Amino acid sequence: MSSDKYVTRIVVIICLTNIPAILTLPIIFRESLGWILGSLASALNFWWLAQNIKKCLDLFPAKAKELSLKGTYLRFVFLLVYSVLLIGIVKPNIFSFGLGLLSAQIVIYLHELITRFKDNRYFRG
């Protein structure tokens, strides 16, 4: 699977996790809003990381290191400012917002686990 397809698949799965959160907005508004805003930031952060990596692949090591450090710090500053502004203004549930920020990692682990189970000869149906 190419890297673009993998990144697209992970971002789509992250966005699909927002469907239950959107459906439960009238019932548990702050928790659902926290998950939605956190997972969207997580998807953007994952996509941005993939773009930074793609830019650095064909460069000399010193230039790649410089660009990757700048990209990493820029992403983290963006996430920090986004989180502080969001928590200060919108006031979502902080716990569900934090879980939403972890949604990219959760989706990557689940995707790899399911892929390995599907490819394992003992678990094929």
Residue 121 has pLDDT above 80, yes or no: no
Residue reference for tokens 């410089």: 66
Domain with 69, as residue range(s), is 3-119
Query: Do the Cβ atoms of 79 and 45 come closer than 8 Å?
Result: yes
CB 34 within 8 A of CB 93: yes
Burial of 37 (0-12, 13-18, 19+ CB in 10 A): buried
pLDDT tens, position by position, 14-46: 999 999 999 999 999 999 999 999 999 999 999
**pTM here?**
0.85
Residue 113 lies in a domain: yes
What integer pLDDT is reported at residue 125 of this predicted model? 57
Classify residue 27: in a domain, yes or no.
Answer: yes
In a domain, 106, yes or no: yes
pLDDT tens digits for range 57-95? 877 888 888 888 888 899 999 999 999 999 999 999 999
Number of independent structural domains in the chain: 1
Tokens of 109: 């682990």
For residue 125, tell me if it sits in a domain: no
Residue 58 confidence (pLDDT): 78
Would 71 be classed as within a structural domain? yes
Q: 124 in a domain, yes or no?
A: no
Beta strand ranges found along 2-92 (DSSP E): none
pLDDT class of 119 with cuts at 50, 70, 90: confident
pLDDT at res. 66 = 85
Give the model's confidence band at 53: pLDDT under 50 very low, under 70 low, under 90 confident, else very high. confident
Q: Which two tokens stand for residue 29?
A: 């508004």
Give 94's contacts (C-beta < 8 A, 6+ positions apart).
Answer: 34, 87
Given a contact cutoff of 8 angstroms between Cβ atoms, the answer to whether 93 and 100 are in contact is no
Higher pLDDT, 123 or 114: 114
Helix pair 29-56, 103-119: axis angle to 10 deg: 70
115 falls within a domain? yes
Greatest Cα pair distance in the chain: 53
| Residue 106 banded pLDDT, cuts 50, 70, 90 | very high
